Structures are given as C-alpha cells and as structure tokens.
Amino acid sequence: MDLHLEDFRREYTQGGLERDDLADNPLEQFDRWMQQTITSGIPDPNAMTIATVDASGQPSQRIVLLKHLDAKGFVFYTNLNSRKAQELKQNPKISLHFPWYLLERQVKVCGVAEQLSATEVIKYFVSRPRDSQLGAWASQQSRPISSRAILMQQFESMKNKFAKGEIPVPDFWGGFRVKPHQIEFWQGGAARLHDRFQYNLQENGVWEIQRLEP
C-alpha cells in the first residue's frame, strides 16, 4: 500500500497571529474565533475532538459537538454510560481540539471535566428535536450491537413508548463542563512557521500568554 501521502503539502497563507491580536482572556479569544468560524460558513463549526484516558492509560478520541460556552468553560452532552463518560469519572482530565482547517486554524484546550447539574441537563434536553430525544433513549452508547436493524427496532420501541406526551430525560443521560487551565491558538504560517500562542491559568486566576515555536 503506497498512498504517496508525503506528496500532499501546501502553504498556509491566510494570515498570521500576533500577541496584540489576542484578548487577555482565552475564552474571549475563543469566542472571537468561533464567531469568525460560524460566519465563514464552514460545516459543523462547533465540532470538536475530545480525548480521554482509560484506567490503563490508553487515550481515546471521538468527535462531539460543543453545545455551550460561558465564563466557566466548554459544555457537551452524552450518555453517562458511554466510554468517554466512564473514563471521565475515573480521570476527569480531558483535552478538546477544534480543527478549523479551512481557516488554517486550530485550538487545543486542556482542562478538567465536571458533570453538569440536573437543571442544566433538563434545560438542554427539552430543547432537542423529538427524534434526538428518542435517540438518547434508544442507544446504549458504546455498547456492542449486532446490526443497525436492532438499533432501529430499539428506536421504534421508544417511539411507541413515548408516543403521547413529553419525553422524560433518561437517568443515564447528562453532560460535562470542561474547565480549562490551558488553551492554545494555532494559526498556519508560510514555510511551516506557524503562529502559536498558549494561555496558562495561574494560581491567582490570571492567564499568562506565551508564544510557542511552531
């Protein structure tokens, strides 16, 4: 097998990043970049890779959607029996990655995940489309299943079960807020001389900013 992957290369020329361009708070800077990403029209601007680690030290990654951002951190939702949720219960350290390739940008977040309150979970769950609510009930996320047909049978079963009235929040469904202590902003540069700035949270609550070599 030879895909000649070494032949795929291009220059990154959309623009640089300077210290004066950055907000003092990385969550404010992230909000700026997210707004620009949304405006650009690229698909799934809130898609992010999240990395967790199991009890043996094996990292695992998957793509989920960022559903909320505030001064306290980054929020996503999941089945609490899923692999990622179980790994976070054992080790709450987590990394997020936003791959905005079309803008020649990426953002990496390192932090600690805390489970959301029931109030926050209910508020979001009732805002979801009905089929998404049913899907949460139908799937035992991360569990082996022999065919898609069985999954669809489970979905139809939940559809019939909750045919009338509102769909309750499953007791196995919830979410996490990632409280960051390190955030890196990466902007592609010509000749692979990319611009990288890393924010590190200090004990006094102030964010320190440093440029990293590419």
Backbone φ and ψ of 63, nearest 5°? -100, 130
Question: What length is written for the chain?
Answer: 214
Q: Is the dihedral of CA 117, 118, 123, 126 positive or negative?
A: positive
| Long-range contacts, 42-46 (Cβ 8 Å, 24+) | 42/100, 42/102, 42/103, 45/100
H-helix or E-strand spanning residue 199: strand 195-201
Query: Which of 10, 192, 196, 211 is the catalytic position?
Result: 192
HSE-up (13 A, CA, CB side) for residue 175: 23
Assess contact for 132 and 155: CB atoms under 8 A.
no
Alpha-carbon span 107 to 166, nearest angstrom: 38
Q: Is 192 a catalytic residue?
A: yes
CB–CB of 35/85 below 8 Å? Answer: no
Cα(94)–Cα(112) distance, integer angstroms: 6
Nearest CA to 30 out of 105, 90, 115 is that of 105
Catalytic annotation, residues: 192
